[in-house]
Homo-oligomer: A and B are copies of this chain.
């Protein structure tokens, strides 16, 4: 499968869940630690970390360790890939 198709599969799949969309909406305000991101959700931390894994695999977010804390940030260009595909379908 071409790389772009695979990318779109992962990004749209990542966006198909309300928790993951809420994390994207939070991260557009700026980077945050996983504990802060998890706070609004009534969910066990391992489940939440799985959602973060799906987001990271899709390329919508990236993370780095600062000491013992993992900080996530949004990768806006990945959102553009999905938005670009939709815009393309709306043309003509």
A residues engaging B (CB < 8 A)? 1, 5, 8-10, 12-13, 15-18, 21, 24-25, 28-29, 76, 79-80, 82-83, 85-87, 89-90, 92
Contacts and interface: CB of A to CB of B under 8 A. Distances in A.
A87 B21 CA distance: 13
19 contacts: A5-B18, A5-B21, A8-B18, A9-B17, A12-B12, A12-B15, A12-B16, A13-B16, A16-B16, A21-B85, A24-B89, A25-B89, A28-B89, A28-B92, A79-B86, A79-B89, A79-B90, A80-B90, A83-B90
Contacts of A86: 15, 79, 82-83, 86
A87 B13 CA distance: 17
Which secondary structure dominates chain A's binding surface?
helix
